[in-house]
Chains A and B, each alone.
Chain A
Amino acid sequence: DAGVIQSPRHEVTEMGQEVTLRCKLISGHNSLFWYRQTMMRGLELLIYFNNNVPIDDSGMPEDRFSAKMPNASFSTLKIQPSEPRDSAVYFCASSPPRATGWNTGELFFGEGSRLTVL
């Protein structure tokens, strides 16, 4: 079975450019998490979707960051304009549903997108 698929795996861009990271969920999963990992701050939750609806976006750093889930299997994280402090590894993770419709709490991670902003 295919796992969570993220693209691109590596992105190098210049400050001020727009960056779009993509994520394909595991089929049947209904929750989607975007995390950012840095040495300084560890793993930070950026945003959480359940059934395509953003539930918690309190971790989104500022208006330069936006995330969408146009359908049940795909999500994008956009940074516009990008800044050097956005350099990090961005992970997407999905989780299967419980009977209540919420997620089980078990996260299945993609391999990450390493972003470098010069």
Chain B
Amino acid sequence: AQSVTQPDIHITVSEGASLELRCNYSYGATPYLFWYVQSPGQGLQLLLKYFSGDTLVQGIKGFEAEFKRSQSSFNLRKPSVHWSDAAEYFCAVGASGGSYIPTFGRGTSLIVHP
């Protein structure tokens, strides 16, 4: 069975600082990996995805993530955080064959200080 761990429940950063949100997954084969963002009162929005190829993937809103197979990780990064980035971030893993049913982590809440 696939699973996702987001070790940080909350992360606080100052506006303009860099950001890294951690994600570790468990899956026996090559996974499909996703990051989603959820603003208060909203549904989840896809930030970026990794299916294959280049292990550094670019997403929307200036985010990027790097797939590291040896560490079973897919960490999300942004070089300079804006106050509008404050939200809940979810990492998800999906099986790489057949039907993709994503399993979501518990989420990391990002707090941005001015």
A, B: real partners: yes
Are B106 and A42 in contact (CB-based, < 8 A)? yes
Counting residue pairs across A and B whose Cβ atoms lie within 8 Å, the total is 56
How far, in whole Å, are A103 and B100 apart by their CA atoms in the complex?
6
Are B34 and A106 in contact (CB-based, < 8 A)? yes
Are B101 and A48 in contact (CB-based, < 8 A)? yes
Chain A residues within 8 Å of B49, by CB: 105-106
In the complex, the chain A residue whose C-beta lies closest to that of B103 is A45
How far, in whole Å, are A28 and B113 apart by their CA atoms in the complex?
41
Number of interface residues of A (CB under 8 A): 24
How far, in whole Å, are A76 and B15 apart by their CA atoms in the complex?
42
Does residue B114 face the partner (Cβ distance < 8 Å to A)? Answer: no
Does residue B17 face the partner (Cβ distance < 8 Å to A)? Answer: no
Interface residue stretch chosen among A62-70, A77-85, A109-117 = A109-117
Chain A residues within 8 Å of B103, by CB: 45
How far, in whole Å, are A42 and B105 apart by their CA atoms in the complex?
8
Does residue B46 face the partner (Cβ distance < 8 Å to A)? Answer: yes
Are B44 and A91 in contact (CB-based, < 8 A)? yes
How far, in whole Å, are A61 and B49 apart by their CA atoms in the complex?
30
B95-109: which have CB < 8 Å to A?
98-107
Does residue A4 face the partner (Cβ distance < 8 Å to B)? Answer: yes
Q: How far apart are B35's CB and chain A's nearest CB, in angstroms?
A: 12
Chain B residues within 8 Å of A56, by CB: 99, 101
Are B43 and A50 in contact (CB-based, < 8 A)? no
B45-67: which have CB < 8 Å to A?
45-46, 49, 51
Does residue B41 face the partner (Cβ distance < 8 Å to A)? Answer: yes
Task: List 30 A-B residue pairs with CB atoms under 8 Å apart, sorted by A's residue number.
Answer: A4-B43, A31-B99, A33-B101, A42-B105, A42-B106, A43-B104, A43-B107, A48-B101, A50-B99, A56-B99, A56-B101, A91-B43, A93-B43, A93-B44, A95-B100, A102-B99, A102-B100, A105-B49, A105-B94, A105-B102, A106-B34, A107-B36, A107-B46, A109-B36, A109-B44, A110-B43, A111-B41, A111-B42, A111-B43, A112-B43
Q: How far apart are A81's CB and chain B's nearest CB, in angstroms?
A: 27
Does residue A104 face the partner (Cβ distance < 8 Å to B)? Answer: yes
In the complex, the chain A residue whose C-beta lies closest to that of B51 is A105
Chain A residues within 8 Å of B98, by CB: 102
